[in-house]
Amino acid sequence: MNGAAVRLTPLTARLLVRLVAADGEAVTARRLYRDVWQQTVELPRQELRNRNEVQKRILELRRAFDLAGPGHGARIIRTGQLPSGRGTQSTYQLNLAEDELDSAEFTHLVGEALRAAPASAVRLLADALRLWRGRPLTEVHDEEFALVPVRRLVQLRETARRELVGGHTALGRYDLALPVAEQTARERPGDLEAAAVLARVNARLRERHGAELLRHTLRGLRVDVVVVRGDLFDQTDANLVVGFSDTFDTSADDVVISRESVQGQLVERLFAGRHRLLDDKLRRGLGEFTPLATESVRAKRRGRRVRYPIGTVVAVPVGRRRVFALAYSRLGNDLRARSGPADLRLSLERLWPAVARHGLFKPVAIPLIGMGLSRIVELDRTQLLLLIVETFTQSLGQDPAVSPELRIVIRADDLGRTDLSVVETFLRGADERGPASPPATVS
């Protein structure tokens, strides 16, 4: 009482549970004695003795309830009289408010939830299911008088769980619906409906993820690392990273730049094929940097001739987002792009501060840089992916607000030769090390 446990004798505890099972109905002393003491044979002149036994236990219960305050016992356990062919019989009735009895509160909450809108229903059902602590009336659940209330409460629990799954689903919270559906299916292995509900929730989760292959939220940060299958230019909610050579050429003529390259697609898909428009924006951004050298017309007959340092990053505005043009390769005078692991690492290490400075705290999407014509043959796809993740997580040690999401976009053709489990293992280790720790070396 008042938050403190009260110890009852076994018979008195059974009597209380019997009154709870009556669900607010009055029960005669004769019936209480028969059910609680499990009398099978009634001897002559024993009825008075039986009634006295019941009254003794009722008195014990009232005294226990009185610990919550004087008069509580008489209020909670009411005494009545019931005329019968054998004279007037004493009756006893449990008179508890809904919030004083778990089963009544549970029933009330579920009833309210069935009439509520999804958000309110989810709250009410979650509150109701928190009251469930194992099988109801467990002390007497196999006895005849308990069969109906136990069956009703068990069925109501199944209704509550089914409606909770439906409420979470209606709100688009399939991640919250999943554990409820899993628990129901686990507890009812032969129930086809429970299995079907679980299958539907899993299907919705897969649909929600769509092309998403991996998602990891870095511990202690509002930052996700995500790997998706698809097209870089379909990531319309994100800033984009596009690799360039040190001359920042833009003309996709299949001589200097391939039309199929990411640079070529950038011109076609975000600048409607007008490479001079991209040139103008790059030129304005490059005004902040000091060129390394300028090639002569004789030495480099095609393309742009001004060279910039490896790791130069230009934030190109495109609508309300940015394209980060990253120089990570050198375009030789023979028009072949060349790069290596050290160049790529340096470029990525310089990329992330630029994203933090100019990215407006939007998600940033990046392809598997190094897979194209830059020919970084020393690293396979998994190592390239890991290098991107590694340098990004390292940058969070200097500035945890680089971007809310690093999204690495992998083409379907590259997926079969990329081991995402290695990346997942690295990210779990990053959680242990913390973002400020030095990353592992990719070789």
Name the residue ranges covered by the structural domains of the chain.
10-94, 102-132+144-209, 214-431
pLDDT band per the 50, 70, 90 thresholds, residue 437? very low
In the chain, the largest separation of any two C-alpha atoms, in whole Å, equals: 127
Contact predicate 305/248, CB 8 Å: no
**pLDDT value for 416:** 84
Of the candidates 269, 262, 232, 270, the one whose C-alpha atom is nearest the C-alpha of residue 244 is 262
Tens-digit pLDDT profile for residues 183-223: 989 988 888 988 998 899 888 887 766 678 899 999 888 89
More confident residue, 414 or 134: 414
Q: Over 70: is that where the pLDDT of 406 sits?
A: yes
Backbone φ and ψ for 357, nearest 5 degrees, come out as -80, -40
Q: Which residue's entry shows tokens 């030129």?
A: 283
Q: What is the mean pLDDT of residues 167-183?
A: 90
Helix (H, G, I), strand (E, B) or coil at 239: strand
Give mean pLDDT, residues 292-296.
88
Model confidence at 171: pLDDT above 50: yes
10-94: CATH number? 1.10.10.10
**Mode of pairing for the β-strands spanning 77-84 and 212-217:** unpaired
Polymer length in residues for the chain: 443
Highest mean pLDDT of the ranges 173-182, 217-226, 356-365:
356-365
Parallel/antiparallel/unpaired status of strands 321-331 and 239-245: parallel
Q: Which CATH architecture has domain 102-132+144-209?
A: Alpha Horseshoe (1.25)
Greater confidence (374 vs 301) lies with 301
Q: Which of 89-93, 297-301, 418-422 has the highest mean pLDDT?
A: 418-422
| pLDDT, greater one: 323 or 105 | 323
Instruction: Spell out the residues 6+ positions from residue 355 whose beta carbon is closer than 8 angstroms to its own.
Output: 239, 241, 324, 364, 402, 403
Over range 295-301, report the average pLDDT. 81
pLDDT of residue 384 exceeding 70: yes
**pLDDT of 331 above 50:** yes
CB atoms within 10 A of CB 290: 8
How would you class 72 by CB atoms within 10 Å of its CB: exposed for 0-12, middle for 13-18, buried for 19 or more?
middle
Q: One-letter amino acid identity for 58? A: I
Q: Which contacts of 92-98 are long-range, i.e. CB under 8 A and separated by 24 or more positions?
A: 92/19, 92/26, 92/27, 92/29, 92/32, 92/54, 92/58, 93/19, 93/22, 93/24, 93/25, 93/26, 93/27, 94/16, 94/19, 94/20, 94/22, 94/24, 95/24
Which residues neighbour 141 within 8 Å (Cβ) at sequence distance 6 or greater?
Answer: 135, 150
Average pLDDT, the chain: 85
Q: How many CB atoms lie within 10 A of CB 163?
A: 21
Q: Which residues contact 283 (CB under 8 A, 6 or more apart)?
A: none
More confident residue, 127 or 25: 127
Per-residue pLDDT tens digits for 365-378: 999 998 765 567 78
Find the range with the poorest average confidence among 130-134, 143-147, 375-379.
143-147
- Token code pair at residue 179: 């554990």
Residues 91-124 have pLDDT tens digits of 888 887 777 778 788 888 999 999 999 999 999 9
Specify the pTM: 0.59
**Residues whose CB falls within 8 Å of the CB of residue 49, separated by 6 or more in sequence, listed in order:** none
More confident site: 2 or 397? 397
pLDDT digits (tens, 9 = 90+) for 250-281: 877 766 667 778 888 898 899 888 888 999 99
- pLDDT at site 443: 44
Average pLDDT over residues 118-142: 81
Q: What is the pLDDT of residue 139?
A: 60
Tell me the pLDDT band of 182, cut-offs 50, 70 and 90. Answer: very high
Residue with more model confidence, 97 or 138? 97
Give the pLDDT of residue 327. 94
- HSE of 104, CA atoms in CB hemisphere, 13 A: 14
Q: Is the pLDDT of residue 320 over 50?
A: yes
Instruction: Assess contact for 89 and 51: CB atoms under 8 A.
Output: no
pLDDT above 80: residue 44: no
Amino acid (1-letter code) at residue 204? R
Residue 439 confidence (pLDDT) above 50: no
- Percent of the chain's residues with pLDDT above 70: 89
CATH superfamily of 214-431: Leucine Aminopeptidase, subunit E, domain 1 (3.40.220.10)
What band does 440 get if pLDDT is binned at 50, 70 and 90?
very low
Distance between first and last Cα of the chain:
67
Cα 277 from Cα 267, distance rounded (Å): 9
